A and B are shown apart, each in its own frame.
Chain A
Amino acid sequence: AAGVIQSPRHLIKEKRETATLKCYPIPRHDTVYWYQQGPGQDPQFLISFYEKMQSDKGSIPDRFSAQQFSDYHSELNMSSLELGDSALYFCASSSGYEQFFGPGTRLTVL
């Protein structure tokens, strides 16, 4: 069965650089969620989209922005990267109740 696809899987950036993370939800899933998981931490909700509109916003820094496109894929744009942004970034997709997670993008900021 098709799963959530995220790219890239690993990303290394320097401080103050910009990063773009991509998420391709499971086909026919209309909702995408982004989560950030720091080392040894539980996933923290960042932002979500339903039918290409932002549906909820969590603890997402102003330096981050996201959108969902007409094909339902989503991109998380992160600017002015800081060391503390190093984390695993998960995308999850849903068509109702369950959320299925992608493999994550491991971002390292040097």
Chain B
Amino acid sequence: EDKVVQSPLSLVVHEGDTVTLNCSYEVTNFRSLLWYKQEKKAPTFLFMLTSSGIEKKSGRLSSILDKKELFSILNITATQTGDSAIYLCAVGYLYNQGGKLIFGQGTELSVKP
């Protein structure tokens, strides 16, 4: 059965810390891996990764995919209280397989002042 597993499930850090969130997957018909940030509302799109080894970066956030080892990491540097949220990792199926996303359980990040 296809699955996406995130770790840790929860994390408490202080402002200024750097965090690394992990996502591993076992999915047939893999097309892409996506990271979302969810703060009590709709998941907000962060990154989409389709190729191994190419880092995507947006401000203090960055992510990379390893398609050989079937995992991705999301790094957040110099964390701020506004980074507190649930970070969801999702794998997208091939478009000809419907293109749906299956999600991991999420990592709940809490950044303390």
Contact = CB atoms under 8 A, between A and B. Distances in A.
A48 B102 CA distance: 13
Given A55-B98, A56-B99, A97 B43 contact: no
Interface string B88-113: 10001101011111111110000000
Interface in B70-92: 88, 92
B32 to A, nearest CB: 5
B98 A56 contact: yes
Contacts of A58: 100
B97 to A, nearest CB: 7
A99 B34 contact: yes
Residue of A35, A48, A99, A101 with highest tally of chain B CB at under 10 A? A99
Given A56-B100, A94-B99, A101-B36, 14 more contacts: A31-B99, A33-B99, A42-B104, A43-B43, A43-B88, A44-B103, A45-B101, A45-B102, A55-B98, A97-B50, A97-B92, A99-B45, A101-B42, A104-B41
Interface of B: 31-32, 34, 36, 41-45, 48, 50, 88, 92-93, 95, 97-106
